[in-house]
Amino acid sequence: MYDSNLIKLEFNALAIRDYYPSNEQPTNSLWVYEQVFRLKDYGLNSLVLSPTPFIPKFFKNTRKFYKYPTYNKNIEKYKGTYVIRYPYLKLPSNYFLKYNTLILNNIIKKYLNKINPLIVHAHFGRNGVAAIKECKKRNIPLVTFFYGDDVGVADYANKLSQYYSYLKMWGNLFIALSIDMRNDLINMGFPPEKTIVHHLGIDLNNFKPPSQKKENEKIIFLCVGRFHKYKGGQDCIRAFAKLSVKYQNIQLRIVGDGPYIDHLKRLSTELNIKDKVIFINNFQMYDPRKVVLDEMANADIFVFTPFESTNGMKTGTPVVLMEAQAMKLPCIATDHAGISEVLDFGNSGILVKQRDIKQIACKMEELINDKEKRVILGIKGRDYIEREFNLDKQIYKLSKIYNNLINNK
C-alpha cells in the first residue's frame, strides 16, 4: 500500500476505468493497463482511478461476483502501475444511471483535487460523462475512449446519450476503435473534427507462434471469450455440429466463462457433440493468459462469431482476434462492427455473415481441407497485426495525441 500523500509527487495524468486489471481478474481491460504502463515512457505517469462496486463478503465468492476486484481506498501497485479501487454502492445502471454518474463524479472530483493532472483519459463514455464538468472547471484536457456498448442505438447507449450533450460540447477528443464506431458517434452528434479512430494494439513480444506447427491428430478449432448470447458461441457450436458427422478428426475447444456458458454446454449435449467440444474455464486457473496462449499455439483454426443484438448492441475491435492472428492462426469471424478492420477487410482472415450457420460451417470445412490456405492466412494475419495493431506503434501515436492536447490547452 502507498500513502495518499505520494499522489502529488508521482502523477501528471489520471486514467479512469472501472474493472481495471486486478489479481482476481488479470485479463480485465488489458488494453487500458498497457496504455497506462507504456505511456510512462513518454512522460505521462497515470494514476488509475478504478471505482469498484462494493460487494458484501457473503456474495464475493459466488459465481457471479468471484471475478470482481477487491476495493481499496489506498494506492496499490499493480504490475508497474498505480491504482485506487475506490468503493461505491453501484445500482443497476438501466434504472439508476444518473445516481451512478453522480457518485462517479464525486469520486473523480476528489482525486482531481489531489493530483491536478495535465490530462485525463476516461475509458468508456460513462466515465467521460462523469469527468467532463470537473475537467472543464480546471481546464484539463479530457480524452474519452468508446468501446461498443456505449455507442450507437443499443439500449444502454441510448440511456447514456441523454447525458452526452455536455461531453459533446466540452470534451477535447473522442476516440473510436473503428471506422464503424466513429460513424456511430458522429450519428449520435459528436463533433466529427474531434472524433478520431485510434486502434488498440497488442504487445507482439508476448505472441510467439510455433516456428513449426506440430501435426495434431485432430483439426482443432478454437473459440475464446467471455460468453454472453451475442458473442455467438452458439453459432460456432451449431456450425461445428454440421461437420462433426462427416469429419471424425475435428475438435472444438471453447476457452473462457460468462453468463451464457451453461447454455453452450447444454447445446453441445443436445447436438450430440459433447465428446468433441472441450470447455476450459481459464478464469479459474492460476495464469489465465498463459492458458489462452497455449491453446492458440496448439490450435489450427480460430473462430469468432458475434452478432449485433436485437437492440443494436455491437462489439468493438476484438483484441482476441488480434491475438489469434499474432499467433498465425487462420481466423473465421462474422462481418460485424469493427471486426472487418481487424481482419484487414477480409484480406487476412475469412469474413462471414452474422448468424449464417451454413456459411460459417462452409468456411470451417474449407479450412479443414486446405492446409496451404491456413498457412497463408496465418502469415498474412501476423503481418497485418504487426503493421496496424502493434502496441509500440499505437502507444507512440497516442502519446503524440496526448502531448498535443496538453501543449495546446
Lowest mean pLDDT among 166-170, 274-278, 285-289, 391-395: 285-289
pLDDT value, residue 158: 78
Q: Are 253 and 295 in contact (CB under 8 A)?
A: yes
Find the mean pLDDT for residues 32-55.
93
Find the mean pLDDT for residues 200-214.
89
User: Which cell numbers in the block locate residue 321?
Assistant: 482476434
Q: Are 198 and 144 in contact (CB under 8 A)?
A: no
DSSP string, 205-235: GG----SS----SSEEEEEEEE--GGG-HHH
Asked if residue 392 has pLDDT above 90, the reply is yes
Task: Indicate the helix (H) or strand (E) that contains 185.
Answer: helix 179-187
H helices of 281-331, where? 288-298, 319-326
Q: Are 139 and 174 in contact (CB under 8 A)?
A: no
Of 79, 62, 75, nearest to 23 (Cα)? 79
For 297-345, what is each residue's pLDDT tens digit? 999 999 999 998 887 778 889 999 999 999 999 999 999 999 999 999 9
Distance CA 196, CA 190 (A): 11
Q: Is the dihedral of CA 139, 34, 329, 283 positive or negative?
A: negative
Q: Which residues contact 273 (CB under 8 A, 6 or more apart)?
A: 237, 240, 241, 244, 252
Task: Tell me which amino acid residue 363 is.
Answer: K
Q: How many CB atoms lie within 10 A of CB 182?
A: 22
Q: How many CB atoms lie within 10 A of CB 212?
A: 6
Q: Are 10 and 47 in contact (CB under 8 A)?
A: yes
Q: Are 325 and 352 in contact (CB under 8 A)?
A: no
Task: Indicate the helix (H) or strand (E) that contains 90.
Answer: none
Asked if residue 1 has pLDDT above 60, the reply is no
Q: Are 4 and 53 in contact (CB under 8 A)?
A: no
Mean predicted lDDT score pLDDT of the chain: 91
Q: What is the DSSP letter of 2?
A: B
pLDDT value, residue 90: 77
pLDDT value, residue 162: 86
Q: What is the DSSP letter of 312?
A: -
Asked if residue 61 has pLDDT above 70, the reply is no
pTM exceeds 0.85: yes
Q: Are 115 and 46 in contact (CB under 8 A)?
A: no
For 128-145, what is each residue's pLDDT tens digit? 999 999 999 999 999 999
H helices of 11-92, where? 30-39, 57-60
pLDDT value, residue 224: 97
Residue 175 pLDDT grade (very low, low, confident, very high; cuts 50, 70, 90): very high
Lowest mean pLDDT among 64-73, 132-141, 173-182, 286-295: 64-73
pLDDT value, residue 409: 73
Task: Tell me which amino acid residue 239 is.
Answer: A
pLDDT value, residue 63: 54
Residue 196, φ and ψ in degrees, nearest 5: -130, 165
Q: Are 320 and 304 in contact (CB under 8 A)?
A: yes
